[in-house]
A = this chain, B = another copy of it.
């Protein structure tokens, strides 16, 4: 009996699919080894598992044709955005066809009166904001990389603005997707809210391409704030920095960004971005609003921070200073390499209830020291989410083993605090092993029943997520 699990397709099936794709897509098809490897490449230490072929569709109709063809021959389909995923989402463990959406870059419509827009999945977040600049609106979700909107939707991404603007879950109004049967469907209408049926939109957000391929996304937009003020502030300890964030949020200050860097991360950022920030635990904060309100928030935050020993404020009110500051934060992943040139970086992603964050970070720092591992920490403190950017030598088996032990303990620590093994990066391949601890058996079996019902041939990004 068929248990719905993917197996590597036989040579005849694969050959039938690739020949048909080559014939239809011409130079928008490739089975070149370099291209294939690049499409299996991920920013992780998971081994490269290239797809058998890569195809570059330009429309939902073409995606539908590809899916129908692959379904007929039971060949896996792996959606591909910009390849910036961190947990092995784009690898092809069973081979198959990588569907690269980089030619689907149309911004289909922008509706200023409704504060929304419709874009194709290959548009990146920076491209969208560039396009929107003259409209007075912006799209706030900002993972570290200049990821594609399709990929951000599929991993339920967030970033530094999530404390104020939410994650992709909160900012996708609807998607059009091609189902595992090749049908084109839309999850919801453009109304801001609806109670008409199951929330298919939220089912696709974070599904990592395992239920279908997203071919357009309707996004919420926001007016660019009249005034923005940003600052860095140092603290005696991580606990003080976290307590400041908690008190700020509790007091109702609608802080737009509140990012934690630990001592080592500040050092890396200084080295990489030629800054001279004091090498202590630090919050990077930003306030949005009218001029008077941004000023008021700034002052109130200053009072709270002082209560927790915060000092050495550096305000960046000029746009160029602010850009420099946030670029430094966004470059944190790359900055880490300055601490250990030539090392491989592994970005972790834990999220716990806010009240447990300081404790979790402090215990993690102790674990790093005891494990003799180098791992600067950045955190989206307003969400209880932080990343350890581990810098490791993959050629040292002992260090690799110590890293694996550390990663498992990190997730256990998060789970013990009622947290999750991933706040924003997703499951991909690398975190599948944590799902049994993350969810109850009944919840996991519900997820698998949904997968089985919607992708009975298990062709949509198999070997990932809950599949």
Stretch at the interface among A26-34, A278-286, A448-456: A448-456
Contact A431 B196 (CB under 8 A): yes
Cα–Cα, bound, A207→B383 (Å): 27
Verify if A122 is at the interface (C-beta below 8 Å from B).
Answer: no
Query: Is the pair B194, A354 in contact by a Cβ cutoff of 8 Å?
Result: no
| A299 shortest CB reach to chain B, Å | 10
In the complex, chain A residues 234-260 whose Cβ is within 8 Å of any chain B Cβ: 246, 249-252, 254
Instruction: Provide a sorted-by-A list of 8 A–B residue pairs whose CB atoms are within 8 angstroms.
Output: A113-B353, A115-B249, A179-B446, A185-B440, A190-B419, A194-B422, A197-B435, A199-B203
Of B183, B249, B383, B439, which contacts A197 at CB under 8 A?
A: B439
The answer to whether B252 touches A222, judged by C-beta atoms less than 8 angstroms apart, is yes
Q: Which residues of chain B are within 8 angstroms of A384 by Cβ–Cβ distance?
A: 114, 191-192
Complex Cα spacing A292 to B352, Å: 34
**Cβ–Cβ < 8 Å partners of A193 in chain B:** 156, 158, 162, 167, 169, 351, 383, 385, 420, 423-424
A386 to chain B, nearest CB (A): 11
What are the interface flags for A404-419 relative to B under an 8 Å C-beta threshold, 1 for contact and 0 otherwise?
Answer: 0000000000110011
**Chain A, interface size: which category?**
35 or more
Number of copies of this kind of chain in the complex: 2
Residues of B within 8 A of A158 (CB): 193
The answer to whether A73 has its CB under 8 Å from any CB of chain B is no
Supposing A192-B351, A453-B452 touch, asked if A197 and B114 sit within 8 A by C-beta, the answer is: no
- Residues in B whose Cβ lies below 8 Å from that of A439: 186, 196-197
Check if A367 is an interface residue, CB within 8 A of chain B.
Answer: no
Which residue of the partner chain B has the closest CB to A425?
Answer: B195
Closest to A385 in B: B193
* Contacts of A369-409 to chain B: CB distance below 8 A: 383-385
> Can you name the residue of chain B whose Cβ is closest to the Cβ of A421?
B196
Report the minimum CB–CB distance from A407 to chain B (whole Å): 15
Alpha-carbon distance between A418 and B449 when the two chains are bound, in angstroms = 31
Determine whether A25 belongs to the interface, using a CB cutoff of 8 Å to chain B: no
Please tell me if the beta carbons of A112 and B435 are within 8 angstroms of each other in the complex: no
Specify the chain B residue showing the minimal Cβ separation from A166.
B170
Which of B189, B199, B414, B422 is close to A418, meaning CB atoms less than 8 Å apart?
B189
Interface residue A47 (Cβ < 8 Å from any Cβ of B):
no
For A289, what are the chain B residues with a Cβ–Cβ distance below 8 Å?
A: 252, 293
The minimal Cβ–Cβ distance linking A464 to chain B, given in whole angstroms, is 11
Look across to chain B and name the residue whose beta carbon is closest to the beta carbon of A423.
B193
Say whether B419 contacts A189, CB under 8 Å.
yes
> Inside 8 A of A454's CB, which chain B residues have their CB?
446, 449-450
Which residue of B is nearest A173, CB measured?
B353
A133: B residues at CB distance < 8 A? none
| Residue of chain B at shortest CB distance from A414 | B191
Q: Which residue of B lies closest to A137 (CB)?
A: B250
Contact with B along A191-230 (1 / 0, CB 8 A): 1111111111011011100000000000000111110000
Q: Are A423 and B205 in contact (CB under 8 A)?
A: no
**Which single member of B224, B352, B353, B427 contacts A195 (CB below 8 Å)?**
B427
Would you call A155 an interface residue if the criterion is a C-beta within 8 Å of the partner chain's C-beta atoms? Answer: yes
Does any Cβ of B come within 8 Å of A184's Cβ? yes
Distance A194 CA – B254 CA, assembled complex (angstroms): 21
Q: Is A443 an interface residue (CB 8 A)?
A: yes
Cross-chain contact B438 with A196 (CB below 8 angstroms): yes
B197 touches A447 (CB 8 A): yes
- Rounded to whole angstroms, the CA-CA distance of A423 and B440 in the bound complex is 32
A191–B422 Cα distance when bound, in Å, is 10
Contact between B446 and A185 (Cβ–Cβ < 8 Å)? yes
Complexed CA–CA distance, A368 and B278 (Å): 68
Complex alpha-carbon distance, A193 and B354, angstroms:
11
A443 x B189 contact (CB < 8 A):
no
Question: Please, which residues of chain B bring their CB within 8 A of the CB of A74?
Answer: none
Residues of B within 8 A of A199 (CB): 156, 169, 199, 202-203, 205-206
